[in-house]
Amino acid sequence: MKSTITCDMEGIIETMNSGAEKIFGYEKDELIGKKRVSIFSPGEIVLQNVASWLDTAVKKGEYIGETIFIRKDGKKINAKIRITPTFKNGKNNPQTGYCGVTEIIDKEVNVTISFLTKMIKWLAITRMPFSTASIFPIILTASYFAYAGDNLFNTSNLLLCIFSILFIHLSINVFNDYFDFIDGTDEGNTEYFQQLSGGSRAIELGLISVKKTKKLAIFLCIISIFLGILLCLNIFHTNLISVIILAAIGLFLGYFYTAKPLRLVARRGLGELSIFLTFGPILTLGTGFAIFNGDLLANFEHLFNCLILGFPLGFLTTNILLINQFPDREGDIKTGKNHLVVTFGKRKSRWIYLIIFISFVSTAFYFSSSINNSLSLIPTVISSIFGFYVIKQIFINYNNRKLIRANWSTIHLHTIYAITLIIILLIS
């Protein structure tokens, strides 16, 4: 008895024979057009091996190996798997999916999970690589103080601020994934699964349970609060109230971005606004109050520049969010996530991206003029050139898989601007 299952390029099951039903314990109606083939494999195996299996299948015409699968009832299956690429319109045309043929074997299959995979697993669950959106604004604020004068900020406070914000960012990421799964957003999203959309998909992939996801989010939040308390003990006394207020606002916006009853992401622009504020002016201004050696409210120039610095960063982060909403649109419609791309559609949302980008350029130029540093225009010029290239790609590929290049490029745009500006401020 053999299981034969075909899927599209995103892993969505298209066909399955009666052998697949008997081997895996699912009915066809449960899976076809609804679930991905990853449902049959332990999450760590998917993370470690599947991409290389598919790559081999494409390059050599097939992949043959042994692995472990999981039935609907949770029972493990020792199996031999053969994967081949599929071409609905002939091999001379673009690939349309994969075909997997499975046979149960008697021998015990042991799949060793590497330490690297286990590390990547936790990076994936917390989405740590995306924490640069919160770390760069902190470092940039400190870089501004370093540029503005000597001994303007507290190094210990800077380190505490970085780690406190890092852990709360990771906590909010995990909370967001938890609420997305509970609300059915992950199940409803069938687009660009192997790309940047849809959060970490850690629960769906079986990397972590729903219960453990919630516990992890709470644990990370507790660590952040503990570090935040240590930070507050060392903050200049007149800045303390401002730090607490801004931190509370940031936590509120981050948590209720996906959490009910507010669920800001579903409220036509409020989700985008909350991201702009949280990863922009709230973060840079809050960092300024946390690390400044003195009364920041009494130093209007530094106060104002900390605030303005957050605007270009906030706009760039908002565009990261916006571009990742494009492939999520259909799934988000099903679960009532009425963000801007759902509200206006992909075609019109291209112009929203452009408007936000122009806002970034304008505020970046304004920040440079505010600190009277002509060299700080260099990051803006570089980002502007690269940014208009990205916009061109978005306008062309807004409704197909090639948009992934623009997704990654938007992240790179934030990184390029932040790193180059940090360097300029430190060497000026």
Global pTM reads 0.88
**Together in a domain, 66 and 198:** no
**CATH number for the domain harbouring residue 207:** 1.10.600
**Together in a domain, 167 and 243:** yes
- Residue 32 CB partners (closer than 8 Å, separation 6+): 13, 14, 15, 16
Is position 117 within any domain? no
Among 63, 89, 104, residue at a domain's last position = 104
Q: Give me the residue label for tokens 């963000």.
A: 339
**CATH number for the domain harbouring residue 86:** 3.30.450.20
Number of structural domains found in the chain: 2
- Residue 334 CB partners (closer than 8 Å, separation 6+): 184, 188
Question: What's the pLDDT at 194?
Answer: 45
CA 2 and chain centroid, separation: 38
**Together in a domain, 308 and 273:** yes
The boundaries of the domain holding residue 27 are 2-104
Is position 295 within any domain? yes
**Together in a domain, 100 and 134:** no
**Together in a domain, 97 and 160:** no
What is residue 402's DSSP assignment?
G
Q: Give me the residue label for tokens 């929203």.
A: 352
Is position 303 within any domain? yes
From CA 322, how far away is CA 149, in angstroms rounded?
A: 37
Alpha-carbon distance values, 290 to 3, 397, 425 (Å): 60, 42, 20
**Together in a domain, 17 and 144:** no
Is position 346 within any domain? yes
**Together in a domain, 194 and 320:** yes
**Together in a domain, 392 and 250:** yes
Is position 114 within any domain? no
Is position 181 within any domain? yes
- Residue 293 CB partners (closer than 8 Å, separation 6+): 151, 152, 153, 154, 236
Contact 359, 319 (CB under 8 A): no
Is position 389 within any domain? yes
**Together in a domain, 212 and 278:** yes
**Together in a domain, 70 and 192:** no
Is position 381 within any domain? yes
Report mean pLDDT in 10-residue bins for the chain, 428 residues.
Answer: 91 93 94 88 90 94 95 93 92 91 93 92 90 96 96 96 97 91 67 54 83 95 96 94 96 91 89 96 98 96 97 97 88 84 94 97 97 95 96 93 90 96 96
CA dihedral of 200, 205, 211, 214, whole degrees rounded to 10:
0
Residues counted in the chain = 428
Secondary structure element (H or E) that encloses residue 165, with its range:
helix 155-182
Amino acid at 3: S
**Together in a domain, 31 and 137:** no
Q: Give me the residue label for tokens 């559609």.
A: 345
**Together in a domain, 182 and 281:** yes
